[in-house]
Chains A and B, each alone.
Chain A
Amino acid sequence: MNLEFTAEELAFRDEVRSFIEENYPKHLGDAGMREDMSPEDMVAWHKILGEKGWSVPSWPEQYGGTGWTPTQRYIWLEENARVNAFMPLPFGVSMVGPVIYTFGSEEQKERHLPGIRSGDVWWCQGYSEPGAGSDLASLKTTAVRDGDHYVINGQKTWTTLAQYADWGFFLCRTDPDAAKPQEGISFILIDMKTPGVEVRPIKLIDGGYEVNETWLTDVRVPVENLVGEENKGWTYAKFLLAHERSGIAGVARSKRAVEKLREIAGKELLDGEPLIEDLDFARKVSQLEIDLAALEITELRTLAGEQAGKGPGPESSILKIKGTEIQQRLTELTLEAVGNYGAPMYGQIEDAGSNQYPIGPDYAQHSAATYFNMRKTSIYGGSNEIQRNIITKMILGL
């Protein structure tokens, strides 16, 4: 047991680092922290990685994965976090992609995997409904067989970035009479341009529009868009959620955010001295770093387990809980660090040009909006209460 990188791994790190330095779009800047990007910017790095063959490192090699070891994947994420890269969105590469290559037909693999790898096709997730959040299995959207098609009716919600999506993967009820609600659900791929699909934006408390309501009215979808078997969708959905959870820890990104927090607290003053030298504040930053170190090694242990053939299990709930708590704490401390300049609503202030009097330091901008926005992380992807229920049931056996 050791944590040192081998000579080969160090060489890999150098290769990756120089590739990122040469190819990461400079105009994205510190984009990984921003919530107000254009759709083109959000897929810019994905497309470059697609050409390089590095957009889906964790997929099996036969489907375009890189065959990297867990250590290499860890190095990859670390190196991206160094420049705060805006990584490929998870809906294709981490969610529907693995479901398609694991449970989909050969035709579905050929049709959909290339677009996910290249970043040319934008995916969204149609899981939650107004009445089915934590209790996802109670979903009501129906898919009724009509010849070679399913006719789909219902309302999905929290469909992230669906306003840009080309395709969506949806959970629909195909057997309303099944003995258990989980048993009558199917996993269906829908072309978002199909008549009857309507996406309506939802404004969030930070002022942004990243999620939507998606209404499905008599949407006709060819039966070949069913993934796997009819009524077995819950199995695929759970498989996907476990994948989503392991990515959700966001360790590399949080490490970069801690550095950024230290930079900010080095510039802010308290009694004329840098805030980071204040023991009260420094303790809180250190506590975060300590919690993050524990999470990082926990994630590496999980990755190593995956490599040894153990799929992400209920332990990934730990990554979700701790990862999101740390992300939230980071944004809370950043807001705390900027003091009075947390209050301005920067998103609503028009940039009046360089002659205008500035409002606070650059690093204070959006600190409150980001704090507000990140409250979502303990709610989405299975709320942290649901994650604790999973551990209670699957690990404690209670």
Chain B
Amino acid sequence: MDFNFTEEQEMVRDGLSRLVREQYDWETRRSAVESDAGWRPEIWAQLAELGILGMPFSEEDGGFGGGAVDAMIVMEEFGKGLVVEPFLPTVVCAGGFLKHAGTDSQKEEHIGGIVDGSRVYAFAYAEPRGRYDLADLQTTAKKDGDGYVLNGHKAVVVGAPWASHLVVTARTAGGQRERDGVSVFVVANDAEGVVRRDYPTVDGRRASEVYFENVSVPADALIGEEGGALPLVEQVADEAVAALCAEACGAMKVAHAMTVDYSRQRKQFGVPIGKFQVLQHRMVDMFTEYEQSVSMTYLATLKLDAPEKERKRTASAAKVRIGQAARFVGQEAIQIHGGMGMTDELAIGSYFKRLTILSSEFGDVDHHMKRHIALA
């Protein structure tokens, strides 16, 4: 048993921590989020330069040979600064599909662009009527000669306005919620027939409704097995869940620290409000929720390579625990900040909003509780 990070991992954390501290203060983030672009490609370029975007790929694929623990470190630091740049959809999701199931030529085609920052991906998995079920798909991909033709509507595709490519789940066979018949494709975002409606999200990111209207893709757009990709999608989604849990830990840590700090400064009835026991205990509970979340994040991350059932059950357990903690910590942070917590002037509101949305991304508490029960 060893809960220590390697020297290299500590260096990565220090480097990212410095980047977030020096270039990602809340005011700067806010103006980037409110700008037309909504993100900062120059930050993305720096992440490429620091080797962050190539970290989880093996050296033979052009990466730096890192793994899930490295992604966890990155996401935790990003959570602290509420970083909006699309590391999760690009590196964790698209990268995950390529690592697990990409052919040599697909890896060659895509991974280089991810590592050097020239390509950005979004993961189009959710559908308007599918809630959090990864197999509940109405989007279809019909065989057409050597290639496929895609039709359908993907909901709330985070990062799609920034993406050069979309990773899309679609049915090549089977009924709407069947496990069989699910396939995964990589589609250029500017391919003919891809129609997007872009919008900001309440937690400072950009997303799109993406419509596929007779979008033709070649045979090598298919990643993994035709009609048998659901286990692959589930694996990548569990990796995304672990990464989101890490992001939540970073955000909760900062939200808690800001709240404790505020309670030291804000005086009412002649004393700092942090002297009131009712608030002290609440902040202790926030801290406890955070610590439990860190533990579950470690567990989920370290079990990503476990046998399928164990991996799934652990990822769901983590998402349940972190979903609950994120709501609690966010709500209490606002309450203890009082009226100031309700304003757009303080950073705490942004942490609360990110924690709110994060708790339901890739499945909310109920969804993962059901999954945990079903796998008992």
Interface, chain A (partner B; CB < 8 A): 128, 131-135, 138, 157-158, 202-205, 207, 211, 268-272, 275, 278, 280-281, 332, 335-336, 339-345, 348-349, 356-361, 368-369, 371-372, 375-376, 378-380, 383-385, 388
Contact of A134 among B338, B344, B366, B370 (CB under 8 A): B338
Residue of A207, A360, A383, A388 near B155 (CB, 8 A) is A360
Q: Is B73 an interface residue (CB 8 A)?
A: no
Q: Hey, which bits of chain B sit against chain A, CB under 8 A?
A: 126, 128-129, 131-133, 136, 155-156, 158, 176-177, 195, 197, 199-203, 207, 209, 211, 267-270, 273, 276, 278-279, 327, 331, 334-335, 338-339, 341-345, 349, 352-353, 356-357, 360, 364, 366, 369-370
- Among B155, B270, B339, contact of A340 (Cβ-Cβ < 8 Å): B155
Contact partner of B341 (CB less than 8 A), chosen from A203, A342, A379, is A379
Q: Which residue of B lies closest to A366 (CB)?
A: B202
A residues near B133, Cβ cutoff 8 Å? 270-271
Chain A to chain B contacts (Cβ below 8 Å), 26 pairs:
A128-B339, A133-B338, A138-B269, A204-B342, A205-B334, A269-B131, A270-B131, A271-B136, A272-B136, A275-B131, A280-B369, A280-B370, A281-B366, A336-B360, A342-B357, A344-B200, A344-B201, A344-B207, A345-B200, A345-B201, A357-B197, A357-B211, A361-B128, A375-B331, A376-B342, A384-B335
Question: CA separation between A345 and B176, bound complex, in Å?
Answer: 29
CA distance in complex: A272, B130 (Å): 8
> B342 to A343, Cβ gap below 8 A?
no
Q: Given A205-B344, A281-B366, answer yes or no on A343-B197 (Cβ-Cβ < 8 Å).
A: no
Give Cα A205 to B341, complex, Å: 8
Expressed in whole angstroms, the minimum distance between the Cβ of B303 and any Cβ of chain A is 25
Query: A161 → chain B, closest Cβ, in Å?
Result: 15
Q: Which residues on the B side are within 8 Å of A361 (C-beta)?
A: 128
Contact of A336 among B207, B269, B364 (CB under 8 A): B364
Interface residue from A271, A358, A368 paired with B202 (Cβ < 8 Å): A368
In the bound complex, how far is the Cα of B156 from the Cα of A271, in angstroms?
A: 19
B169 shortest CB reach to chain A, Å: 14
- Give bound CA distance, A358 to B366, whole Å: 27
| Closest CB in chain A relative to B276 CB, distance in Å | 8
**With known contacts A157-B339, A271-B136, A280-B369, A360–B202 Cβ distance under 8 A:** no
Contact A359 B202 (CB under 8 A): no
Q: Is the CB of A379 within 8 A of B335?
A: yes
B-chain residues with CB within 8 Å of residue A343 when the two chains form the complex: 156, 158, 201-203, 207, 357
Which residues of chain B come closer than 8 Å to A349, judged between CB atoms?
A: 199-200
A358 contacts which chain B residues (CB < 8 A)?
209
Query: How near does chain B come to A359, taking the closest CB pair, in angstroms?
Result: 6
Contacts of A275 in B (CB 8 A): 131
> Do A133 and B155 touch across chains, with their CB atoms under 8 A apart?
no
Contact of B129 among A202, A269, A388 (CB under 8 A): A269
- Which 10 residue pairs spanning A and B have beta carbons closest together? A205-B349, A135-B268, A203-B344, A340-B156, A343-B201, A345-B200, A368-B202, A357-B197, A135-B269, A280-B366
How far is it, in angstroms, between the C-alpha of A239 and the C-alpha of B141 when the chains are bound? 67
Quote the shortest CB–CB distance from A275 to chain B (angstroms). 8
Contacting residues, chain A, for B335 (C-beta < 8 A): 375, 378-379, 383-384
Instruction: Report yes or no: B352 in contact with A205, Cβ–Cβ below 8 A.
Output: yes
Q: What is the CB-to-nearest-CB distance from B186 to chain A, in angstroms, rounded to a whole number?
A: 22
Contact indicator B199/A205 (Cβ below 8 Å)? no
| B209 & A359 in contact (Cβ 8 Å cutoff) | yes
Given A138-B268, A270-B131, A343-B202, A375:B156 Cβ within 8 A? no
| Complex Cα–Cα for A278 and B276 (A) | 41
Bound: A157/B345 CA distance, A: 14
What is the distance, in angstroms, from A109's C-beta to the closest C-beta of chain B?
32
Contacting pair A379 B339 (CB below 8 A): yes
Measured in the bound complex, the distance between the Cα atoms of B177 and A211 in whole Å is 47
Chain A residues lying within 8 Å of B352, measured Cβ to Cβ, are 205, 372, 375
B364: nearest residue on chain A (CB-CB)?
A: A336
List residues of chain B with CB within 8 A of the CB of A268: 131
Bound-state Cα–Cα, A157 to B343, Å: 12
Interchain nearest-CB distance for A277 vs B (Å): 13
Return B168 CB to nearest CB of chain A, in Å. 16
Contacts of B273 in A (CB 8 A): 134
List chain A residues, Cβ under 8 A from B356.
335, 368, 371-372
Kindly list 18 other residue pairs between chains A and B, CB separation below 8 angstroms, not including A379-B338, A379-B341: A135-B268, A202-B345, A204-B342, A205-B342, A205-B344, A270-B133, A271-B133, A278-B366, A336-B360, A339-B131, A339-B132, A339-B360, A342-B360, A343-B201, A343-B203, A359-B209, A360-B155, A371-B356
